[in-house]
Amino acid sequence: MISRREFLKKSGLLATALAIPTPASNVIAPGTEDELHEVVPRPSLNPSSLAPFVDPLPIPEVAQPNGYRADPLHPSERIPYYRIELSEIQVKVHRDLRPTRLWGYGATSPGPTIEARKGSPIIVEWVNALPKAHLFAIDHHIHGAEADKPHVRAVVHLHGARVRPDSDGYPEDWYVPGKSRLAYYPNVQDAAMLWYHDHALGITRLNIYAGLFGAYFIRDSAESALNLPSGKYEIPLILCDRRFDSQAQLYYPTSPMFHAPWRPEFYGNTILANGKLLPYLAVEARKYRFRVVNVSNSRFLTLSLSNNQRFHQIGSDQGLLRAPVLVTTVILAPAERADLVIDFLEHPGTHIVLSDPSGPIIQFQVDASAAAKSAALPATLRRIKPLPPSSAVRTRTLTLDQYSDPSGRVMRMLLNGMHWNMPISERPVIGSVEIWRFVNLTPDPHPIHLHLVRFQILDRREFDVDAYKKSKALHFTGPPMRPDLNESGWKDTVRCPPKTVTRIIARFEGFTGRYVWHCHVLEHEDNEMMRPFEVIR
C-alpha cells in the first residue's frame, strides 16, 4: 500500500495529470484512526450499511437579495443586500437516517449559493444566530480558543475573494450569537468559484465541520462568451468527508488526552456531496459542467469515474485554465476547486460513479435516450500571462514546520517557526510581485492558502531536509518540476509536498492592510499553521 504522503508527493510532482493512475489504496495516513483510544468511544455509523444512491443530489438554492442598499463606495448607486443567518438546523443526510444536527448558513448546509457578476458589488450581512453551546469539544490549549473565550464564535471569510481587510473575515474578528457583521464584496476579479466558510480563531475546524460553508460564483462576460454548459447543466459539487455516530449525529474524534482534544488531522469514513450521503444525479447524455470544491478538514480527494472515462478540467481555484486539460483523475486538497466538464454522450442508460479512493461519492444516472450533442469545448479558454520570476522584487523563504512532544505526539504546526501572535514578518508592498518559497520540513503535504491574492505555481523541487535543519542551506536533490497542467492557471491554494520546496509567484494587488496565509488542513490552521501578513504602501 502506498501511503498518503508518498502518493501525494508523487502526484504533486508528476508533470501531467493524465498520467496519474487511480490508487487502489485508501489515502488515510497510518496512525490517524486510533479510535480505540477515544476517551468516550461512541458507536459509529457504518456507511456501507446504507442503501447507496437513493437520494437525489441537492442543489443549494441561489441566495436572493433581501433588498438594496447604497454602495458605500458610490453612495448614489444601490447594490444588492443579502442577510444570511448562521443557525443550527436538522437535516436528513440520507433517506434512511434520522435528521442530523448541523450548523448552516440559512436553513441549509451547504448554505445558499451566491451568484455575483464581475464589477457588481454586493453587501452581505452575516448574522450569528447559532446556539450558545458548541457541537464539539473545544481544545482550550489552542491559540485563540482559551477557556475565557466564548465557545460559540464565528466570522465569515470569502475564500478566493479580493476584498478589503475589514470584509475578509480576520480570524480574530469573530463575534458571538446575537451579533452580526456587514461584508462588502466588490467582485473586482475574474470569473471563478469562490466559497465562503467560517474562520474563527482556534475553532475553524469545528465550525466548518459543523457545516458552515457555501459556494459563491463570480461570472464575467469572457466566461459567458465561451458557451459552457450552464443552467441545469452546471452543477456545484461541494464535497467533504465526515463521520457519524449510530444516531446519525456528526462525530468529530478527539485525542486520547481528555484536556487536549485537538488531533493533528481528521479523516471521515464517508463523503457528503452537497450535504447528502451517496446521492445520485439524473443526467442527460450530454456535457455537464461540475464546479467542485473540497471543503474537507484534512482529506485530499482524488476524483475519478467508475467507467474510467476521461473528462476535461477547464478551471481551478481562480477561474479558467488556458485550455481544457484531459484527465482521468483530479486531486483536490482542502479548499482547492476544480471546474470539470464531463460528457455523458457515449453512455446513455448507464450508471457512473464519481469516487475517491476512500469511497463512492455520487452516482450519475444517464438517461437512456440520446440527447442533442452539446457544443464542443473551446480550444482556448483564456489568456494567462506567466508572471516572470524576474519581475519579483523579493523572494521569501518560509518553512512549514511540525513539532512533537517527547513521546512523538504531534503538538502543533507553524509557518516559518512563528506563532500566530508574533509580530507580522511578511509585509509586501502593494502592487509588487513576490516569490514565496515554501520549504516543507514536515512528513506531510500542506495546502497553503494566501488571502487576497491569486498566484501562479512556479515549480516544486526536492531537497535534503536533514541538511536544511542542520545548516539552513538548501541542497536540492532533484530538478525543478513544473506544476501539472491543471494547476497551471491562477491559484489561491497550493499543495506543498513533503521534502519539497514549492515556489509561487504573486502580485500583491488590491488593498492594503492585514490578511492571513495558512495551511488549509483545518486542524493545522487551528494549531497554529497560520500567520498574518500585511500589504503596505
Nearer to ligand C2O, 197 or 286 (CB): 197
Residue placing its CB nearer to ligand C2O in the complex, 254 or 294 = 294
DSSP label at residue 487: G
Identity of the residue numbered 132: K
> Which residue, 297 or 402, is less far from ligand C2O as judged by CB?
297
What is d(CA 35, CA 256) in angstroms, rounded to the nearest whole number?
Answer: 9
Nearest distance in Å: CB 210, ligand C2O: 16
Q: Which is nearer to Cu ion, 55 or 528 (CB)?
A: 528
Q: What is the maximum span of the chain, computed from C-alpha positions, in angstroms?
A: 66
Residue in 286, 446, 491, 495 binding Cu ion, rule: CB under 5 A: 446
524 touches Cu ion by CB under 5 A: yes
Establish if 446 lies at the interface with ligand C2O (CB under 6 A): no
Q: Which residues from 396-425 bind ligand C2O, rule CB under 6 A?
A: none
Rule CB under 6 A: say whether 151 interacts with ligand C2O.
no
Q: From the CB of 161, what's the least distance to ligand C2O, in Å?
A: 10
Q: Does residue 451 interact with ligand C2O by CB under 6 A?
A: yes
Give dist(CA 17, CA 425) in Å, integer.
36
Q: Which of 285, 286, 280 is nearest to 368 (CA)?
A: 285
Say if residue 484 is exposed, middle or buried (CB neighbours under 10 Å; 0-12, 13-18, 19+): buried
Told to check if 491 binds ligand C2O by CB under 6 A, we report no
Nearest approach, Cβ of 75 to Cu ion (angstroms)?
Answer: 29
What does 521 bind: ligand C2O, Cu ion, none (CB cut-off 5 to 8 Å by kind)? Cu ion
For ligand C2O, the closer of residues 202 and 229 by Cβ is: 202
Q: Shortest Cβ distance from residue 515 to Cu ion (Å)?
A: 9
Give the cell for residue 90: 436538522
Count the neighbouring beta carbons within 10 Å of the beta carbon of residue 319: 27
Of these, 4, 9, 153, 157, which contacts ligand C2O (CB under 6 A)? 157
Count the Cβ atoms, other than its own, within 10 Å of residue 5: 18
Nearer to Cu ion, 302 or 493 (CB): 493
Which residues in the 154-173 window bind Cu ion by CB under 5 A? Answer: 159
Which of 157/437 has CB closer to ligand C2O? 157
The neighbouring-strand residues paired with 194 are: 216
Sequence-distant (≥ 6) Cβ neighbours of residue 216 within 8 angstroms: 113, 114, 116, 158, 161, 193, 194, 195, 196
Tell me phi and psi for residue 35, to 5 degrees: -65, -20
Residue 222: CB minimum distance to Cu ion, A: 23
Q: How far is CA 161 from the centre of its chain?
A: 13
- 3-state helix, strand and coil shares in percent for the chain, rounded to the nearest 5: 10, 40, 50
Binding marks (x or -) toward ligand C2O, 503..522, rule CB under 6 A? Answer: -------------x-x-x--
Q: Which is nearer to ligand C2O, 168 or 434 (CB)?
A: 168
Q: How do beta strands 337-343 and 287-294 pair?
A: antiparallel
String of contacts with ligand C2O for each residue 167-206, x by CB under 6 A: ------------------------------x-x-------
Confirm if 526 and 519 have CB atoms less than 8 A apart.
no
Rule CB under 6 A: say whether 531 interacts with ligand C2O. Answer: no
d(C-alpha 63, C-alpha 86), whole Å = 14
Residue 8: CB minimum distance to Cu ion, A: 12
Give the one entry of Cu ion, ligand C2O, none that residue 446 binds, where binding means its C-beta sits below a cut-off of 5 to 8 angstroms depending on kind. Cu ion
Q: Min. distance of Cβ 197 from ligand C2O in angstroms?
A: 6
Min dist. Cβ of residue 208 to ligand C2O (A): 9
Q: Binding of Cu ion at residue 295 (CB under 5 A)?
A: no
Rg, Å, the chain Cα set? 22
- 524's contact among Cu ion, ligand C2O, none, with CB below 5 to 8 A by partner kind, is Cu ion
199 interacts with, out of Cu ion, ligand C2O, none, CB within 5 to 8 A per kind: ligand C2O
**159 scored as a contact of ligand C2O (CB under 6 A):** yes
Three-state SS letters, 105-139: ECCECCCCEEEEECCCCEEEEEEECCCCCCCCCCC
Residue pointed to by grid coordinates 476521461? 310
Q: Where are the beta strands (DSSP E) in 263-300?
A: 270-273, 276-277, 279-285, 287-294
Closest contact distance (angstroms) between CB of 521 and ligand C2O is: 11
Binding partner selected for residue 277 from Cu ion, ligand C2O, none, CB under the kind-specific 5 to 8 Å limit: none
Minimum Å gap between C-beta 199 and ligand C2O is 6
Q: Name the closest residue to ligand C2O (Cβ).
A: 159
- Count of residues making up the chain: 537
Residue identified by cell 508523487 is: 10
Q: Which helix (H) or strand (E) holds 9?
A: helix 4-13
Residue 45 and residue 274: Cα distance in Å, rounded?
19
Residues 139/183, Cβ–Cβ less than 8 Å: no
Q: Which amino acid is at 25?
A: S
Q: d(Cα 279, Cα 364) in Å, to the nearest integer?
A: 9
- Which residue's CB is nearer to ligand C2O, number 160 or number 498? 160
Tell the smallest beta-carbon distance from residue 146 to Cu ion (Å).
Answer: 22
* Beta carbon of residue 211, minimum distance to ligand C2O (angstroms, whole number): 15
Nearest-approach distance from CB 268 to Cu ion, in angstroms: 17
Asked whether position 335 contacts ligand C2O by CB under 6 A, the answer is yes
- Smaller CB separation from Cu ion, 202 or 229: 202
Positions that interact with ligand C2O (CB under 6 A): 157, 159, 197, 199, 335, 449, 451, 516, 518, 520
Footprint of Cu ion on this chain (CB under 5 A)?
A: 159, 446, 451, 519, 521, 524
